[in-house]
Structures are given as C-alpha cells and as structure tokens.
C-alpha cells in the first residue's frame, strides 16, 4: 500500500459551546490540515496521484473556513467547530473531488503542535 500526504494551513477563530473551560471563549488557531491518500497501485508515472491535484482540492475544501469565525458558518450552526468536526467536514468535501481509483484515507486537523483530530476510514 502506498500513502501520500499533503499539508495546508488556515487560520480561524472558534469557541466550543458548552465546554467547561477556556475553550468556551472565542479564540483562534493556525490550523494545520494533513490529508492522506492511499493506493495499492501506482499510475504510469509512478505516482499515487499528482500532489498538485490534492493540494488544489485541499485549498478548495478549506477556503471557506480561512480567516472566519467558524461558529458563524452554516457548516457549524448545529455542531461545534471542534477539530474533530472540522476534520470530518474537510474529509467529506474532499471525498467528492478525489478520483475513485485512490482512497481518501484520512484528514488530520492540528489545532497546535501537540493536538490533532483525525477523521478517516476505519
Ligand atoms: Zn480551539
């Protein structure tokens, strides 16, 4: 199995409604997003898929969240913009654009250097 990974970043503010602690107050993160794509086979170029195509798809998936207050977005009207929910949102957006011949393995959303949430296939 081959795995490739691309990374992009975006900045946003959020608050965790109902959280008993300082994350209940509005604050910001420079989120790092890692996307892993897997394939059993390589194409004729020896690639899982072109890094540029994944980078472009990832940029499209995060652009509406960049420099936003996430709690105000329709995406997060009914659920907290936790790293977990952000990862699931990005995964589902990417799943619509990634070619069927490869597998969207996981999306990891890092809130800082120590903490990330990962959404992906079992
Ligand atoms: Zn936070």
State pLDDT tens for residues 47-75: 999 999 999 999 999 999 999 999 999 99
CB 23 within 8 A of CB 56: no
pLDDT at 122 exceeding the cut of 90: no
pLDDT at 41 exceeding the cut of 90: yes
Q: Residue 13: give its domain's CATH number.
A: 3.30.479.10
Q: How far is the CA of 25 from the centre of ligand 1 (A)?
A: 9
pLDDT at 121 exceeding the cut of 90: no
Annotation marks residue 14 as catalytic:
no
Measured CA to CA, the distance from residue 80 to residue 101 in angstroms comes to 33
pTM of the prediction?
0.95
Annotation marks residue 84 as catalytic:
no
**Tokens describing residue 94:** 């990417």
Choose the catalytic residue: 23, 84, 88, 116.
23
Q: What is the mean pLDDT of residues 18-40?
A: 96
Choose the catalytic residue: 14, 111, 114, 115.
111
Question: Comparing 15 with 121, which gets the higher pLDDT?
Answer: 15
State pLDDT tens for residues 85-108: 999 999 999 999 999 999 999 999
Choose the catalytic residue: 24, 67, 88, 116.
67
Annotation marks residue 29 as catalytic:
no
**Tokens describing residue 107:** 């999306």
CB 16 within 8 A of CB 80: yes
Measured CA to CA, the distance from residue 9 to residue 116 in angstroms comes to 13
Report which of 27, 51, 30 is spatially closest to residue 102, judged by C-alpha positions. 51
Q: Could you list the residue range(s) of the whole structural domain that residue 100 is in?
A: 2-120
Q: How far is the CA of 101 from the centre of ligand 1 (A)?
A: 35
Q: How far is the CA of 62 from the centre of ligand 1 (A)?
A: 17
pLDDT at 4 exceeding the cut of 90: yes
| Count of domains for the chain | 1
Helix (H, G, I), strand (E, B) or coil at 111: coil
């Amino acid at each position: 199995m081959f795995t490739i990974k691309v990374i992009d970043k975006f900045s946003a503010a959020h608050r965790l409604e109902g959280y008993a602690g300082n994350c209940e107050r509005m604050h910001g993160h420079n989120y790092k997003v890692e996307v892993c794509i897997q394939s059993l086979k390589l194409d004729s170029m020896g690639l899982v898929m072109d890094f540029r195509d994944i980078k472009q798809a990832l940029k499209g998936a995060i652009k509406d969240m960049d420099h936003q207050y996430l709690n105000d977005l329709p995406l997060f009207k009914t659920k907290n913009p936790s790293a977990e929910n952000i990862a699931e949102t990005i995964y589902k957006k990417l799943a619509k654009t990634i070619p069927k011949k490869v597998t969207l393995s996981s999306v990891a959303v890092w809130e800082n250097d120590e903490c990330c949430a990962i959404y992906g296939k079992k």
